[in-house]
Structure formats: structure tokens, C-alpha cells
Amino acid sequence: MSNPVLVEVLRGALVESRHRGAVAVVDADGATVLSLGDVARPVYPRSAVKPIQALPLVESGAADKYGFGDQEIALACASHGGEPAHVEVATRMLARARLDAGALECGAHWPSHQPSSQALARSAGAPSGLHNNCSGKHSGFLCVACAAGVDHHGYVKPDHFVQREVRAALESLTGVGSSADQCGIDGCSIPTYAMSLTALAHAFAKFGTGEGLAPERASAAARIRAACAAEPYYVAGTGRFGTEIMQLFGARVLAKTGAEGVYCGALPDRGLGIALKCDDGATRASEVAMAATVARFLPMSEDERGAVGRFLRPTLRNWNGIEVGGLRPSEALSQ
């Protein structure tokens, strides 16, 4: 059975493309509030769980030891655009642990933020691990190792101290054990463990509320949420949906993208966690689906409802700036 269409792409009067997928919204008790499509099928959460993967950095005391503020903690949760400010904060995080870019094991890629990529090329530069969208998370991982006095080399491997800590945090929030046959290697070389959208949404409900967590963990989750709400630019970047929706709603929405069409988040004061995946892996559709899910469950002012419209129905323009179409949530998602 196929998942429902979540998002339609229009050109002129016709639907040109369609994105199917599944959405789970779950409360902190594990009760399902919305279930669209197959929410039981295991999916790799990819980068969408970075806020949860940042728990050891805060809980262990490493963030305090190195004097990290909101920017550093937000960047540890980020899939950023490799903009100069992102690179600067990652560099600062590493320097606090007396490390540099050479310690990063995430691999290098050109900044996804195109003006930053072009500026880097213009300056005859080449990308390093600092420009990798995961460099904040990796800098955080390195700090966890260094603060614990553990050799950081190989920190991306499943059996390294850092990944064991990260896995334990994920397992405790999701309630799902991590088995090797559900494990893939992520773009940045760390393990990613497949699990149901229901389990992911439940984890984000707990992360968003602190309910069901030990006091230290609840406190660490609150600090990470506050950092993302205070510095959403450091969670994604210029012009990015994740940044802009958190700028709009502040602490009322936590939103984190993952590769291959995953989006997770929480509506803390509604007590809800959200996890969704577009079957085909399309980011453009996962963003509209996330916006629609937020719009469905978050009470908002008229002004906010007006502002959220451009995330629900983004316009497509061509190379001459002519409006040629747009995206919209499907009826199934809008109801």
C-alpha cells in the first residue's frame, strides 16, 4: 500500500509532481495524535535527530567546561549552510578543546549556501570539514571526547565512546534499541539507526517537554531547545525554512531537517512531537509537510497565520523571476 500524497507541485494549472510520505504526531505519553501513511516502517532519521544527539554535549558538562553559549549549542544541532558565521562558531568550538579542522572526520564539501560557496571560490579557498553542514555536530562530538579525556580519533565509529553516548541518548528517548541490521552510515560518516516515525515523534515529544526524562536530561533538552530558539540562524542559515520557522515562532516550534526528506520537531507548549518523511527523499516537500503539520497543531495569531503561508505554499519562480508555479500541502495533510 502506498503512502498518501503529502505535497503537490503545481506548474500553470496542473499538478506537475507529487510527493508521498508519512507523518506521525505523538504526545509525551506516546499517544498518537496524527498518523498519516505508514508510520511504523523504519526510516533513517539522519540529521533530524541532531538536537537529541547534542544531549551528551550538554549533559556531560562539556558545553559548560568549554564555555558554550546558545550559538555553539545551536550549531551542534545544525545542518548549516557553511556560511562564514557558521564556520567561525565551529572553529571556536574546536579551539576551546584545543583542536582545529584537522580533527573533524565528517569530510569536506562546498557550502550549500551558494553565495558563501562562490565567495569561498572567489577567495581561491577550498572547502574543509568546517564547511560541512554537520561541522557543528562533529565539533560537539569532539568536545564530548576531549572533555571526558578520551582519545577523539575515530569518534565517528559506532563503538567509539562518543557514538555510544549518543546512541544511549537516542535509545532512551525513542525507546528503540539500536541494532546493526538497522544501521546505515550517514553522509558525515556516523551511524544512523532506522526506527519508526512514531518512535521518533515520541522522542521529540519527550525532548520538547522534558516529560519522562531524568531531571538532568530534561534540563539539557530545555537548554538545547532554548539555544535553537535563540539562535535559529545557527541551526540552518540564511533563507532556510528551519531557521525562518523558528524565527517566526520562537520557542513554540523546534524544527530540524534530515536528509532524504525527513523532518522532525516539537511543539513544546502543545506537548507534541512531530516526525515525517517524504518517501522520495525530497527536502522541498518535507518542508511544506512540516509547515502544514505545525499549522495544524499550533494555535497562532492572524499575523502568524499570514506569515506561515509562504512556507505552506511556497512560490516557484524561474530564472527570469517569473512565477511559474508553487507547492501546496495535499488535502490529506491539510485536513
Residue type at 77?
A: C
| Closer residue to its own copies (CB): 63 or 259 | 259
CB within 8 Å of 319: residues ≥ 6 apart: none
261 is a contact residue toward its own copies (CB under 8 A): yes
Which of the 8 DSSP states describes residue 214?
-
| CA 14 – CA 305 distance, rounded (Å) | 26
Instruction: Decide: is 168 part of the binding site for its own copies (CB under 8 A).
Output: no
Q: Which class for 301: exposed (0-12), middle (13-18), buried (19 or more C-beta within 10 A)?
A: exposed
What is the smallest separation between the CB atom of 19 and its own copies, expressed in angstroms?
Answer: 5
Nearer to its own copies, 17 or 219 (CB): 17
Nearer to its own copies, 104 or 227 (CB): 104
Please, what is the minimum distance in Å from the beta carbon of residue 131 to its own copies?
10
Query: Would you say 245 and 311 are in contact if contact means Cβ atoms under 8 Å apart?
Result: yes
CA distance 77 to 51: 5
Strands 262-267 and 272-278: antiparallel
285 counts as binding its own copies under rule CB under 8 A: yes
Residue 83 interacts with its own copies (CB under 8 A): yes or no: no
**What is the residue type of 18?**
R
Binding mask 13-42 for its own copies (x = CB under 8 A): xx-xxxxx---------------------x
Query: Contacts with its own copies: how many residues (CB under 8 A)?
Result: 54
Structural element, H or E, at residue 75: helix 70-76
Cα distances from 198 to residues 21, 221, 263, 275, 285, in angstroms, run: 14, 20, 13, 7, 19
Least separation in angstroms between CB 324 and its own copies: 4
How far apart are CB 171 and its own copies at their closest, in Å?
A: 18
Residue 303 touches its own copies, criterion: CB under 8 A: no
Residue closer to its own copies by CB (options 60, 128) is 128
Which residue in 35, 85, 92, 109 binds its own copies (CB under 8 A)?
109
Place of cell 524565527: 247
Is position 189 an interface residue for its own copies (rule: CB under 8 A)? yes
Q: Work out whether 132 is an interface residue with its own copies (CB under 8 A).
A: yes
Q: Which of 59, 178, 177, 80 minimizes the C-alpha distance to 138?
A: 80
* Interface of this chain with its own copies, residues 143 to 162, rule: CB under 8 A: none
| Cα(271)–Cα(269) distance, integer angstroms | 5
| Residues of the shown chain interacting with its own copies in the complex, contacts defined by CB under 8 A | 2, 9, 11-14, 16-20, 42-44, 105-110, 114, 117-119, 121-122, 124, 132, 181-189, 192, 194, 260-261, 278-282, 285, 318-322, 324-325
